[in-house]
A and B are shown apart, each in its own frame.
Chain A
Amino acid sequence: MKEYSFQSRTQRYKLPNGITVLALENRANPTVSLSGLLMAGDYFSPANQHGIAGLTAGMLNKGTASRTKLEIAEALESVGARLAISANTFTVSVSAQSLSRDFGLVLSTLADELLQPSFPADELTKLKQRTTASIKHNQEETRVRAIERLTQVIYPPQNPFYQPTAEQLLNEIEEMSVDAIGTFHRERYGPGSLLLVVVGDIDAESVHEQVANLLGDWSGPAPGAIDLPFTPLQATPTREFVPMKDKPNVDIVIGHASGLRRSSPDYLAANIANRALGQSTLSSRLGLKVRDEMGLTYGINSAFMESGLGDGPFLVSVTVAPSNVELAIKASLEIVDEFVAGGIRDEELQDEQSAWTGSFKIGLATNSGMAAQLASAELHGLGVHHLDIFPELVTAVTKSEVNEAIRRYLHPERATTVIAGTLD
């Protein structure tokens, strides 16, 4: 099996200007997937400029020093290639897919967008208009509103997981200028934190050469560091209601700051615990009781949302008809309480270990799946080798480690409950 390991098949290069390139050949299909990231996400937004990371990423394909937006789009669309750049909480992520013969076009377009964006003012006006509409559209969703309110209760306003109100966000976006975007780009986009992972029908050595040719001369600011304190658990449980009109379905979220990051030593144990509790609506404890047995909901699950570079929230989320809200909250909390008190069962542990390693393998069946896993391993400093040993690591987690993680990370007794929808 050794010769098929990711470690032995993946080429890793570091360019002198700091760009990291991972390339993995997979000749099964004449396509190439690219997954990339750099440190220019929301966390790095200046005060009162929420949304600037997303607008900057969104402006990259709206024109460069040498090409208009339409020319860029025409070139990619005419060969059926896709290149998307978007901002997340901490990173900007790049994802692209093309036929292998068009990979050069994708990479040169990406380089052009990263290095020479022209940020045309009329395009910013249009992008702001679409972003505003999309925020308003999202505000109509009960789930979005419930999670937004939860983050406002459990995180301080300066924390990247705190979601500002739509009103504040819209006002700040309205004020955003091309100068501000240009400044953010100049100060945050640089080669030092750029990671490019390329998987597919392509020669690994030529990927290295092409990246070096196109991006090797790029100089820019040193990557920004993340210095984020852990968010403490709130002292007491609270309940909030977000009233909305004409919504036959109610979204309920019950959650708290998780205290869990990818770098936490018990990250795997905590995730096995969550899988048993609520990862799957059809087969986890919450789903078996609240959906399958009580028939209250189409969807119930629990998750560590964004336990990555930061400690995002842990939450249980359930949708119900307005008349079933209290019943669903009571039932969900009882199950979490029971899980915390009694811990995971032996057969749950075994099932979840086998489920996680199985779904991990299935996720690696596609070029884009492999690219995403490689990028994540690199981002968190785990190395390519992590993909080879991941199943062993999951299988090695013990029952007492999981139970320890349950006690450390799940706190239903102090959780905030938010109900969003139409209740009379």
Chain B
Amino acid sequence: MLFKGTPTYNKRAGTQIAAVLQRHGGVFNADTWNDRTRYYEMLPREQLELAVHLEADRMRNSFIADEDRQSEMIVVRNELERGENETDRVLDERVWSAAFREHPYHHPTIGWRSDVEGVPTARLKEFYDTYYYPNNATAIVVGDFDERTTLDLISNHFGPVPASPRPVPPMYTVEPPQEGEYRFILRRAGQLGLVEIAWHIPETKHPDTPAFVVLDQILSAGVSSRLYQALVEKQLAVSVDAQSCQFRDPGLFRIDMTLTPGVKHETAEEAVHGEIEKLKNEDVSPGELTKARNIIVSQLIYLRDSPLGVASAISEAEAVVDWKFYVDLPAMVEAVTASDIRRIANEYFTIDNRTVGYFIPKE
């Protein structure tokens, strides 16, 4: 709805938001995720003011009109349907919903189908009037620009936008400790079986986060990683991935795999648990630690090649803890030791703390 226009930028005036940005060759969009909504544009540097003006304008002046909601609802519902076509996404969504019973990470960001269909315009407006204020926003500019001029630009356009009349409501729901494993099966048409295993892990600002970031690499970065060797190399799975999901509130460490045809779900799952037991009982090698750190640091350096990549990384860091997390990560990762990895594996990768989902293709 934030692309539908403001009194300044709209289709009738020939200044439709997407058309104006497209005209300058911009890469632009908006997306939602667990802790934040973000609007971004990458433009030739002469157009910086356009981007700043547009974002300041639509922060408070968007129409959010009832006549736009009906058509936009079907657009978003189609986005949701496209997601539902992908079995691996559906399985992952259900793992999150099972693992989080009370905290809102239970809900997919796109929403549930009936909520997308039924939400009234007034409810959208209420959301906009609660959260879309400068005191709840961060502006990030990356690229080739003059610092003073740019700060003035931001101040000139965002400065006059009023702060929220009421404090932005805090998120206070806490997911209580899981008391026993959650396990479920998803059955629908499909060709290849899937297994996903997840454990609750702490919030990003927790001191254990760097160890999880390193462990993620040790488990699944490349052919030489532990899970690739234990599952793909042994022909139990055709692909496997581990991901440490860092959020503002406690998230999940998840491992997902696509099974080799003919392999039982239980067999592949057992192989993962075998690797987890090794982590609990033996230190990872110095070589594995160095490799993981090198991968993390080089990825951050590659990112610097693209202004949008850097802006994106900083915005994610700011959303989950603080933008400085992006800067500090290499040093934090450097300090992770083998005993840290062993300790977190023992502390978090327990049976009572895990959720396991199987996708079994329907005959």
Residues of A that sit less than 8 Å from B by CB: 28-31, 33, 69-70, 73-74, 76-81, 97-99, 126, 129-130, 132-134, 136-137, 139-142, 244-249, 280, 282-283, 288, 291-299, 319-321, 324, 351, 354-362, 365-368
Contacts and interface: CB of A to CB of B under 8 A. Distances in A.
B78 A354 contact: no
B18 A295 contact: no
Contacts of B189: 140, 244-246
Contact of B224 (A74, A140, A297, A321): A74
B152 interface: no
Contact of A70 (B24, B223, B304): B223
Interface stretch (B293-301, B316-324, B333-341): B293-301
Given A73-B224, A291-B75, A31 B301 contact: yes
Contacts of B298: 79-81, 98-99
Contact of A77 (B24, B224, B261): B224
Nearest to A97: B302
Interface of B: 3, 11, 16, 18-19, 21-27, 29, 42-44, 70-79, 81-82, 84-87, 188-192, 221-225, 232-233, 235, 238-239, 258, 260-261, 287, 290-291, 294-299, 301-302, 304-307, 362
13 contacts: A29-B301, A73-B223, A77-B291, A133-B258, A134-B238, A140-B87, A249-B84, A283-B16, A283-B22, A298-B79, A319-B78, A319-B81, A362-B26
Nearest to B87: A140
Contacts of B190: 140, 246
A298 B81 CA distance: 9
Nearest to A350: B23
Contacts of B297: 80
Contact of B44 (A30, A130, A358): A358
A249 B81 contact: yes
A365 B305 CA distance: 8
A155 B218 CA distance: 46
Contact of A295 (B27, B70, B287): B70
A211 B297 CA distance: 27
Contact of A361 (B44, B79, B290, B307): B44
A359 B25 contact: yes
Contacts of B192: 133, 136-137
A2 B219 CA distance: 50
Given A77-B222, A283-B19, A359-B25, A295 B75 contact: yes
B305 A367 contact: yes
Nearest to A367: B305
Contacts of B19: 283, 351
A44 to B, nearest CB: 27
A387 to B, nearest CB: 15
Given A78-B287, A249-B82, A133 B224 contact: no
Nearest to B261: A133
A55 to B, nearest CB: 15
B305 A295 contact: no
A79 B302 contact: no
A319 B25 CA distance: 25
Contacts of B191: 136-137, 139-140
Given A29-B301, A282-B18, A358 B238 contact: no
Contacts of A28: 305
A414 B329 CA distance: 56
Given A355-B23, A359-B27, A31 B305 contact: yes
A80 B22 contact: no
Given A81-B298, A137-B258, A248 B84 contact: yes
Given A77-B291, A244-B189, A357-B25, A99 B301 contact: yes
B75 A297 contact: yes
Given A282-B18, A362-B44, A129 B304 contact: no
Which 5 A-B residue pairings sit nearest by Cβ, starting from the closest?
A: A358-B25, A295-B71, A80-B298, A245-B189, A282-B18
Contacts of A246: 188-190, 362
A288 B238 CA distance: 41
Contacts of B71: 292-295
Among B78, B188, B302, the one with the most A-chain Cβ atoms within 10 Å of its Cβ is: B78
Contact of B74 (A77, A79, A137, A295): A295
Contacts of A77: 221-225, 291, 295
B235 A129 contact: yes
Given A80-B298, A282-B3, A298-B78, A354 B23 contact: yes
A6 B84 CA distance: 46
A88 B26 CA distance: 28
B302 A297 contact: no
Nearest to A200: B305
Nearest to B20: A283
A248 B83 CA distance: 9
A299 B83 CA distance: 12
Contacts of A359: 25-27
Nearest to B46: A358
A409 to B, nearest CB: 22
Given A79-B298, A359-B26, 5 more contacts: A98-B298, A246-B362, A295-B72, A298-B82, A362-B26
A123 B72 CA distance: 49
Given A78-B287, A139-B191, A296 B224 contact: no
Contacts of A282: 3, 18, 22, 29
Given A80-B298, A351-B23, A70 B258 contact: no
Given A283-B16, A299-B82, A321-B81, A78 B76 contact: no
B23 A29 contact: no
